[in-house]
Amino acid sequence: MSKKQSSTILVETAIVASFAMSLSLLPDLAGWFTPSLGAIPLVAFSLKRGLRYGLLAGLIWGLLHFILGRVYYLSFYQVLIEYLLAFTCMGLAGLTSHKFQDTLKKGSLLTSSFWAILGITIAVLIRYFWHFLAGVIFWSDYAPKGMSPYLYSFMVNGSACGLTFILCVIIFLAILKFQSKLLKN
C-alpha cells in the first residue's frame, strides 16, 4: 500500500470514529439497555479496511468519550475496561475482513454476508462481554434489591448486546445489498 493510500485510510479512520461518537451522543431512550448506534459504522469500516484500522477506529471512538466528557467514571479499572478495551474490541469485526473482501469481489453475496455476520458477532459479543464483566464487578450497587449482580448485568448488557447486534446486521446487509461498492476495500 502506498504512503498516500495509508494516510487516506488514517483520515477515514478518524472520520469513522467521530461519526460513531456523534451517534453515541444521540439521546438514549432506555439508559444502559439502549443499543450502541456507533457500532454500525465501526463494524462496516472494520470489514472494509481490516483489523488494524478497525481496532484503531474503536480506540479513537473510546478516547473521544474522554475529550467530550462522556465517561461514566466509577473507578480507574472500570473506565479502562469499558472505554478503552471494550470500544477497541469493536474493531475485531475486521478479523473476517479478508474473507469478506475476497467473497465480495467474487460477487458471492451470500458467502460474504456469512463472513460479515461472523465478524460482527465476534466484535459485539466480545465488546459486551467486557461491559458484562464491568457490570458484575463495578455496577452491582445499581441492581434492584435482592437481584444477583450477574443476572442484573446480564439483563442490562445482554439486551444492549442483542439490540446492537441486530441493528448492525440489518443495516450492514442493507448496505451490502444496495451499495456494496461502499464496502469494497
Residues that bind ligand 218 (CB under 6 A): 32, 72, 82, 131, 134-135, 139, 152-153, 156-157, 160
Of 42 and 82, CB closest to ligand 218: 82
C-alpha torsion sign, points 133, 153, 59, 166 = positive
As measured in angstroms, the least distance from the Cβ of 35 to ligand 218 is 10
CB neighbour list of residue 14: distance below 8 Å, 6 or more residues apart = 60
Residues sharing a CB contact under 8 Å with residue 177, sequence separation 6 or more, in sequence order: 109
C-alpha cell at 1: 500500500
Q: How far is the CB of 163 from ligand 218 (least distance, A)?
A: 12
Burial class (CB in 10 A: 0-12, 13-18, 19+), 60: buried
Contact 62, 88 (CB under 8 A): yes
Give me the residue whose beta carbon is nearest to ligand 218.
135
Nearer to ligand 218 (CB atom), residue 91 or residue 135: 135
Q: Which is nearer to ligand 218, 10 or 25 (CB)?
A: 25
When the beta carbons of 112 and 157 are compared against ligand 218, the nearer one is 157
Residue 108, helix vs strand vs coil? coil
Write down the least CB distance from residue 108 to ligand 218, Å.
35
Q: How far is the CB of 8 from ligand 218 (least distance, A)?
A: 29
From the CB of 173, what's the least distance to ligand 218, in Å?
24
C-alpha cell at 86: 471494550
Nearest CB to ligand 218, comparing residues 151 and 170: 151
